[in-house]
């Protein structure tokens, strides 16, 4: 079995080890490369967001409420709760006549440590519009409003909003309803369990799709990577560096998905232990290995701190780093 | 190979998996039970603290500066930066004529989230005396003062303070100097790499030692578990529940060590990926398995939330839990 591992070093010795499962597939779902268990069945978490956002565009809600690329990128993203993110989520809610208390997502410390610290220092009460999923939830409320569906319970399995998302998940992954499991995500909305291979298939397709809704979402993510994550975060930095050559989306618990449109390939990976510090170096290792093997020029400059994050003492001295080791097996 | 695993469940599906290596040994270092790789060579981190604190007592510094059981427990602990911890660290510094700026440990957000939030809300500037290692460092400064050694550089390899700690580490683990590797811990002090089996051996011995210094430290930890960690943290809660039946100390990056004095056994475990949420359920599973196998009554009441921590949504609804699976192999 081919393995991809993230090693955490301290003073030159490997201290902790993280196994990574990877599926790289084409638009037919054929495995092109793999590591660990490419069939790993797990929760897609926030890497499903582009597909959860598709009905918003397809059904005309985005146009109806005037959502442009920035709003669509926020709907596909896991944002850092920076002022620009909070303001945009609030304006999406206003546009569809909803209020913050209708958001089902709960409050949590912002994913950006700087934003979290600042909020605490300022004595701010963190409310649902600070959720990293604010864009997804505002989009779901807009979809419900547009169709005249009840907004109450929009996040739960069985609600038409979630049925629409499920339809898109099944369509893009070519999975039968029985093959996908529904659960509850951290933000209380439905999440989906399926194989890495199925996740990767949807990204391969999403990367080159000519369907207008998919194209709008993809172009929105590429044009506004700052709305997909936030200042200094991997999704934002990778898409900024790639200048359209990749579309990437992280998920909680060690999930990362990507599309490589120039190759017609999709990537899905899971850090088996769920460590979110390890999924960015794992993804960057996979992207570089695939690009090299296929002769694709993919410079991705300025991402060293995401590829090999430095570990420091409490005095700020470097004491080690995370590093990816191991090679994908290509078919 | 026998395996012990911590599984993280979400909506009934295993989302992430954490492998654990375990060594359970007697005072001779003979393996009594194991899982994964009991020979795993890794950094001992803060689970070495009781042995780093031994010279403080042995060399007469603790008596000279009037350190009682509370101070000794703090020196063996990784505290939560609660007011009682900060006050005690400050009084230890005063007792040996040192000031806070002499502490080599850097500031970091308190291990207690509640304390960390409160500090930020209050606009407090976190300083080195807030370090979870404040007791260890204050003890090291006291040792240097007592011997008339330079306080500058006390945390670095080669300084007599660190040489004394190393001597105790080698003596209690029966390791040769060549078998132990020195590195830099998060708090900038020397840390030690050795096998889990060697770590467990020292705890087996520490648990029943009649050497006065070891006994004083052990009894201090058992009498003042609130100084070894803090309110609601595993070390504190486990030793409180065990009423002297176990001595336990956590280390960063998935390390946990314990002594079972009634059985003359020591335990050392490492969550291979370093996830600190998983080491308490792993330790409790090991303690229960060993006690059951050896017919030791070890009730440990009220620890369910450490044995199977519940995962919640941002709305506070339970959505899954961590659980230990797998059995130790007994010899």
ipTM exceeding cut-off 0.85 for this assembly:
yes
- Rounded to a whole number of angstroms, the distance from the CA of B313 to the nearest CA of chain A is 4
Closest CB to A181: pick one of B13, B104, B316: B13
> B70-79 as b/e, with b when 16 or more CB fall inside 10 Å?
bbbbbbbbbb
**Among residues A148, A139, A132, A164, which one has the least CA distance to residue A228?**
A132
Please give the average per-residue pLDDT across B193-197, as a whole number: 98
What integer pLDDT is reported at residue B122 of this predicted model? 86
The answer to whether A189 contacts chain B (CB < 8 Å) is: no
Mutation for A interface: B127, B273, B321, most A CBs within 10 A: B273
| Residue A308 per-residue DSSP state | S
Per DSSP, helices labelled H in B59-133 are: 61-64, 69-75, 83-95, 113-121
Residue ranges of A 199-218 with Cβ closer than 8 A to chain B: none
Q: What is the pLDDT of residue A180?
A: 98
Q: Which residues make beta-bridge pairs with B260? A: B265
Cβ–Cβ under 8 Å, residues A261 and A296: no
Element (H, E) at B201: helix B196-208
* Chain A environment of B16 (Cβ under 8 Å): 42, 253-254, 271-274
> Tokens standing for B211?
């050497």
Contact of A117 with chain B, judged by CB distance below 8 Å, is answered with yes
User: Along the 331 residues of chain A, how does pLDDT read in single tens digits?
Assistant: 789 999 999 999 999 999 999 999 999 999 999 999 999 999 999 999 999 999 999 999 999 999 999 999 999 999 999 999 999 999 999 999 999 999 999 999 899 989 988 888 888 889 999 999 999 999 999 999 999 999 999 999 999 999 999 999 999 999 999 999 999 999 999 999 999 999 999 999 999 999 999 999 999 999 999 999 999 999 999 999 999 999 999 999 999 999 999 999 999 999 999 999 999 999 999 999 999 999 999 999 999 999 999 999 999 999 999 999 999 999 9
How long is chain B?
331
CA distances from B195 to B3, B44, B174 (A): 18, 9, 11
Looking at residues B12-35, what average pLDDT do you find?
98
Q: What are phi and psi of A21, to 5 degrees?
A: -100, 140
Q: What is the pLDDT of residue A15?
A: 98
Tell if the CB–CB gap between A11 and B274 is shorter than 8 Å: no
User: Is B123's Cβ below 8 Å from some Cβ in A?
Assistant: yes
Nearest to B22 by CA among B46, B7, B2, B49: B2
Delineate the domains of chain A, giving CATH numbers in brackets: 4-330 (3.40.710)
Top residue of B10, B13, B41, B309 to mutate, by most chain A CBs within 10 Å, is B10
On the question of pLDDT at B1 being above 80, the answer is no
What are the residue ranges of helices labelled H in A174-309? 196-208, 212-223, 225-228, 234-242, 279-294, 304-307
- Please give the residue of chain A at the shortest CA–CA distance from B7: A273
Contact A314 B186 (CB under 8 A): yes
Using DSSP, state whether B278 is helix, strand or coil: coil
DSSP annotation of A107 reads P
Closest CA to B273 of A186, A110, A253, A285: A253
Closest CA to A304 of A282, A283, A326, A281: A281
Report how far Cα A111 is from the mean position of its chain's Cα atoms: 13
* Short-list B193, B190, B188, CA closest to B177: B193
* Nearest CA distance, B146 vs chain A (angstrom): 26
Q: Answer whether A150 touches B (CB < 8 Å).
A: no
Q: Residue B208: pLDDT band by 50, 70, 90 thresholds?
A: very high
In angstroms, what CA-CA distances link A86 with A92, A137, B35, B118? 10, 13, 48, 24
Give residue-wise pLDDT tens across range B37-64: 999 999 999 999 999 999 999 999 999 9
| Residue A81 structure tokens | 């709760």
Distance CA B35, CA A165 (A): 43
Q: What is the mean pLDDT of chain B?
A: 97
**B42/A13 CB distance under 8 A:** yes
Give the whole-angstrom CA distance, residue B168 versus residue B228: 20
**Would you say how long chain A is, in residues?**
331
Is the CB of residue B95 less than 8 Å from the CB of residue B250?
Answer: no
């Amino acid at each position: 079995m081919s393995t991809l591992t993230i090693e955490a070093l301290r003073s030159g010795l490997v201290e902790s080890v993280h196994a990574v499962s990877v599926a790289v597939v084409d638009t037919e779902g054929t495995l092109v490369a793999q590591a660990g268990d490419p069939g790993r069945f797990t929760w897609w978490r926030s890497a499903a967001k582009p597909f959860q956002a598709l009905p918003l565009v397809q059904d005309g809600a985005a146009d109806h409420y005037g959502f442009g690329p920035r709003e669509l990128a926020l709907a596909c993203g896991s944002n850092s709760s920076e002022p620009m993110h909070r303001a945009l989520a609030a304006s999406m809610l206003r546009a569809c006549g909803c209020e913050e208390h209708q958001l089902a997502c709960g409050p949590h410390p912002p994913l950006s440590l700087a934003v979290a610290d600042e909020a605490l220092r300022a004595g701010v009460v963190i409310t649902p519009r600070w959720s990293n999923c604010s864009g997804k939830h505002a989009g779901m409320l807009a979809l419900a409003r547009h169709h005249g569906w009840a907004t109450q319970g929009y996040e739960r399995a069985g609600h038409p909003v979630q049925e629409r998302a499920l339809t898109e998940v099944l369509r893009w992954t070519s999975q039968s309803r029985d093959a996908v499991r529904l659960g509850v995500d951290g933000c209380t909305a439905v999440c989906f369990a399926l194989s890495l291979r199925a996740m990767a298939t949807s990204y391969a397709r999403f990367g080159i799709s000519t369907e207008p809704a998919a194209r709008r979402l993809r172009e929105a993510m590429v044009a506004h990577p700052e709305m997909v994550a936030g200042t200094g975060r991997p999704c934002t930095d990778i898409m900024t560096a790639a200048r359209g050559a990749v579309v990437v989306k992280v998920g909680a618990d060690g999930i990362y998905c990507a599309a490589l449109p120039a190759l017609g390939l999709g990537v899905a990976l899971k850090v088996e232990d769920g460590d979110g510090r390890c999924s960015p170096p794992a993804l960057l290792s996979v992207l570089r290995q695939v690009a090299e093997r296929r002769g694709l020029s993919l410079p991705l400059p300025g991402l060293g701190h995401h590829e090999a994050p430095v570990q420091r003492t409490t005095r700020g001295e470097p004491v080690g780093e995370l590093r990816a080791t191991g090679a994908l097996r290509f078919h």
